[in-house]
Chains A and B, each alone.
Chain A
Amino acid sequence: MATLNPFVFRPGHSNLHYLDTRCKFFLVCIVSLSLLKANFPACFILLGTLIFFIQQINLELGQTLKHLKYFILFLVFIILARALTIPGDPLVQLYGISITHQGLYEGCLVAFRFFLVMVTGIIFSNTTRPANLKNAVQWYLKPIPFVPEKRVGIMISLALRFLPLILNQANETRNAVHSRCGNLEKNPVKRFIRLTLPLLKKTFLSADHLILAMEARCYCENRTDPEFKPSGKETLFIITSLGFWLCIQFF
């Protein structure tokens, strides 16, 4: 199941694996905020740091990029859209359409930022157990009144477990539709429904099985949660990320 998508937890012994999940949440927020104003040099510094962590967690880059082919296509479209729509000095002109220097620069920067956000998300999800994620969410939500933090935590951990299941079932359904020549259907609504209806039926059936299993085991929200185990490197990570954020804000 883990090979199906790059967003599932992979066990390991890197610094990030042992880092407190609450700290990882904070780091992701800081990285995300920093990227809003980041220029190319800052993006390259962050890319270098992320590559270092990717090597530490032994993530297979080739396999990951294969899974991200649609995302990479999305980035190419962003670059093209910006290059064609932002006015400036023309770089290439064809049939009245011009690609501008400014548009290309802006497009590459936005795509680069999106890519870094994506890689940060992949590293985060590869190094964080769903149970720890649930606990950290509960911890952050606890002070907020009227929010059932335990139920929210359960829903998050269940949703994360459903993701690979849905991907798996989507692949199975797609293969079944193709084997019946369903991909030759011209009507887009029919094609869409022929894929999504069986998929939704299958996933709801899986959810029903899960509900039965949970009921059979007298599942309740008030379970003892695992304790947080800080690695001791949290302060270093937080200070470094805040330093990076401040540098981007002021330079």
Chain B
Amino acid sequence: MDHPNQLKMTVYTALFVALIAMGAFIAIPLGPVPIVLQNMLVLLAGIILGPVWGVGCVGIYLLIGLVGLPVFAGGTSGIGKLFGPTGGYLIAYLPAVFVTGIISNKFKKNILFDTIAMIIGTLIIYAIGVPWLKMVFSLSWNKALAVGIYPFLIGDGLKIAAAAFLAKKIRPLI
């Protein structure tokens, strides 16, 4: 390790990978897509770690899920999960965490911009996840929106509010 900051970020990134995995394990099933804390922690990783380490964190999370560790929603895993109905949501975490990290880095320590960054991140997740869900299940747009977005909107709002508050409290710790 060349720089102490690099070691620090390596450990924090590993910690966020573990937190995202734990968040995915606590899943509330509702139709084909379960409600999980994982997306809140993904966006929080973007805010706390920044765009580069955030992408690294999500990349490693996806990698350990793909190689077989049960870290995806509800404790599932494997390469098949990427081709399943929630595969789009998983892939979307990468651009979402990157964009959230960039916006949050530009306007540091501002709860309003953190909230905006997470809303944009959530929209990116839906923009990729819902068409994927539609394609896998051959659903109509109305049905895809009904099972892929509407049941989660209130939960997402609450999660973003909680995450913005948590980000404000956690930032001074690192």
Task: Kindly state the separation between the CA atoms of A70 and B78 in the bound complex, as whole angstroms.
Answer: 19
Contact A33:B166 (CB < 8 A) given known A151-B10, A207-B12: no
A62 within 8 A of B: no
A50 within 8 A of B: no
Q: Is there an interface contact between B68 and A204, defined as CB atoms closer than 8 Å?
A: no
Cross-interface CB contact of B63 among A74, A137, A203, cutoff 8 Å: A137
A226 within 8 A of B: no
Contact with B along A109-142 (1 / 0, CB 8 A): 0000010011011101100000001001100000
Chain A interface, >50% SS class: helix
Contact A124:B80 (CB < 8 A) given known A78-B29, A158-B11, A210-B11: no
Contact A85:B31 (CB < 8 A) given known A7-B69, A189-B161: yes
Q: Count contacts on A: residues with CB < 8 A to the other chain.
A: 64
Q: Is there an interface contact between A204 and B170, defined as CB atoms closer than 8 Å?
A: yes
B95 within 8 A of A: no
Q: Is there an interface contact between A189 and B158, defined as CB atoms closer than 8 Å?
A: yes
Identify which of A68, A137, A196, A214 gathers the most chain B CB atoms within 10 Å of its CB: A196
Q: How many inter-chain residue pairs (CB < 8 Å) link A and B?
A: 176
Q: Is there an interface contact between A35 and B10, defined as CB atoms closer than 8 Å?
A: no
Task: Kindly state the separation between the CA atoms of A221 and B83 in the bound complex, as whole angstroms.
Answer: 34
Q: Which residues 152-204 of A sit at the B interface, judged by CB distance below 8 A? A: 152, 154-156, 158-160, 162-163, 165-167, 170, 188-189, 192-193, 196-197, 200-201, 203-204
Q: In the complex, what's the smallest C-beta–C-beta distance from B104 to chain A, in angstroms?
A: 17
Q: In the complex, what's the smallest C-beta–C-beta distance from A169 to chain B, in angstroms?
A: 10
Contact A77:B30 (CB < 8 A) given known A193-B162, A196-B162: yes
Contact A28:B162 (CB < 8 A) given known A36-B83, A71-B75: no
Cross-interface CB contact of B27 among A74, A170, A200, A221, cutoff 8 Å: A74
Contact A156:B7 (CB < 8 A) given known A114-B76, A163-B18, A204-B170: no
Q: Is there an interface contact between B74 and A203, defined as CB atoms closer than 8 Å?
A: no
A228 within 8 A of B: no
Q: In the complex, what's the smallest C-beta–C-beta distance from B48 to chain A, in angstroms?
A: 9
Chain B residues whose CB sits within 8 angstroms of the CB of A28 once the complex forms: 67-68, 77-78
Cross-interface CB contact of A215 among B7, B14, B21, B173, cutoff 8 Å: B7
Chain B interface, >50% SS class: helix
Contact A211:B11 (CB < 8 A) given known A166-B18, A192-B158: yes
Q: Is there an interface contact between A155 and B17, defined as CB atoms closer than 8 Å?
A: yes
Cross-interface CB contact of A121 among B11, B60, B69, B158, cutoff 8 Å: B69
Q: Is there an interface contact between B79 and A32, defined as CB atoms closer than 8 Å?
A: yes
B contact residues, range: 35 or more
Of chain B, the residue at the smallest CB distance from A21 is B67
Contact with A along B43-71 (1 / 0, CB 8 A): 00000000000001000100110111110
A81 within 8 A of B: yes
Chain B residues whose CB sits within 8 angstroms of the CB of A188 once the complex forms: 158
Q: Is there an interface contact between B29 and A156, defined as CB atoms closer than 8 Å?
A: no
Identify which of B15, B30, B56 gathers the most chain A CB atoms within 10 Å of its CB: B15
18 pairs, CB–CB < 8 Å, chain A vs chain B: A7-B70, A29-B66, A31-B78, A32-B81, A74-B27, A85-B31, A117-B80, A121-B76, A158-B11, A163-B21, A163-B22, A189-B158, A200-B169, A201-B169, A205-B173, A207-B15, A208-B173, A211-B8
Q: 18 additional contacts, CB 8 Å, given A74-B74, A159-B18?
A: A25-B68, A31-B78, A70-B27, A70-B75, A74-B34, A81-B30, A114-B74, A121-B69, A124-B69, A125-B68, A152-B60, A156-B17, A160-B69, A162-B19, A163-B22, A193-B162, A204-B15, A221-B1
Taking Cβ atoms with an 8 Å cutoff, the residues of B that contact A are 1, 4, 7-8, 10-15, 17-19, 21-22, 25-27, 29-32, 34, 56, 60, 63-64, 66-70, 74-81, 83-84, 158, 161-162, 165-166, 169-170, 173-174
